[in-house]
Amino acid sequence: MILSNSEGLAGCDLLRGLVFWEKPNSEIRTRLDAISEAPMDFQELALDLTGLTVPDEIARVTFSALAAHSKELGEILKRPIGIRTAALDLLDRLESRLREDGVVQEPPHENLVHMAFVDYLTGLPNFRSLSERFENEIKRATRYGRLLSLIMFDVDGFKAINDRFGHLAGNAALKHVAGLLRGFVRETDVAGRFGGDEFMVLLPETPKHIAEGLAADIQALICATPLRLAERGLLPLTISLGMASFPRDARCADTLMAEADGAMYSAKRAGRNQVCFARPRTSARLSHGPFATQRYESVHVIGDFNGWDRSAEPMIWDPPKSCFSVELFLAPGKYEYKLLLNNERLTTDPNSPETVYDGFDGRNSVLRVFS
């Protein structure tokens, strides 16, 4: 691998990214085997496989060297060599050369552990760290009947930024977004880089109506805070976001992720620079009445799907039917709820035949939503 010292540092980052980025070995192997078969955008390949943007030539040299090194190791050892094993060996050789030239020093053990869970470009939790936290939060929410909201977003036109302004601008854009995100999220939230130009925000104990506002605030913050590039001035950035909540939009980790991701792509298809929210295909209509006249000033539905928030789900007065009603879009499952009358009196729903003990010497109505 013939690279200058500065280029060698970028090559080290790419190899390190292959080791720590969460792409399956089989996918990395397939993508690298295809290098000699057809013209390739190496900058885009680097972003996809490592989460980094680097000059096309450095990516080409590094990945070509890795493919050759993997083949050479297999011939020497007379057995197939894992692509990450080959990347680690090549990384060690490249770093040894740079250490001899005084360019880098031996990283301490704690730095290596840090690299496994923190994205080396943005300093945010990486895919591995986010995945573990997400699984744990879903398990906690499921076991204890808690809430969890998830925001997914990516940078609009990110490839165009790299193509027009160069890889350094692409990296600066990701760092800029990460910095704004880090300063915005609450202490109990978890924000990280999910992959490439995609970010994830985990919002424990956060109902959907609150998460909707937070997602809109993140979108407005990025839009209102352009990136300042040396010698190029201000570069406006926008993002497309998708949001979904447990349990009302999904009842398991895979489905919640799919709903948030699908909502994000809906935002991109709708024109970008906006937020789209997951909406289950199933729903339930609740009503209170009928009454001869509008007996109450307000009726709200509060339940385990909205954090028992007294203002989250207002019923609307329907004059022709002389009743209050609301349609709730909920994923299939069992939910508990009460009616709040005039913002002061809680009662079970007289139209619901099923109730359960609420833990406070009272009863909750039960709502079952079927697919």
CB 351 within 8 A of CB 287: yes
The region that residue 205 occupies, defined by phi over 0 for left and psi between -120 and 50 for alpha, beta otherwise, is left
Q: How far apart are CA 203 and CA 20, in angstroms?
A: 25
Q: Supply φ then ψ for residue 345, to 5 degrees.
A: -110, 125
| 3-state SS assignment for residue 147 | coil
Q: Which two tokens stand for residue 147?
A: 């809430």
Q: Which of 197, 249, 304, 349 is labelled catalytic?
A: 197
The one-letter code for the residue type at 16 is: R
CB 158 within 8 A of CB 197: yes
Query: Within a 13 Å sphere around the CA of 321, how many CA atoms are in the beta-carbon half?
Result: 10
**Spatial CB neighbours of 362, under 8 Å, sequence gap ≥ 6:** 346
Q: Is 56 a catalytic residue?
A: no
Sequence-separated contacts (24+) of 308-312 with Cβ below 8 Å: 309/207, 309/209, 309/210, 310/340, 310/343, 312/207, 312/209
Q: How far apart are CA 85 and CA 244, in angstroms?
A: 38
- Beta partners for residue 191, in sequence order: 201
CB 280 within 8 A of CB 248: yes
Catalytic residues: 197
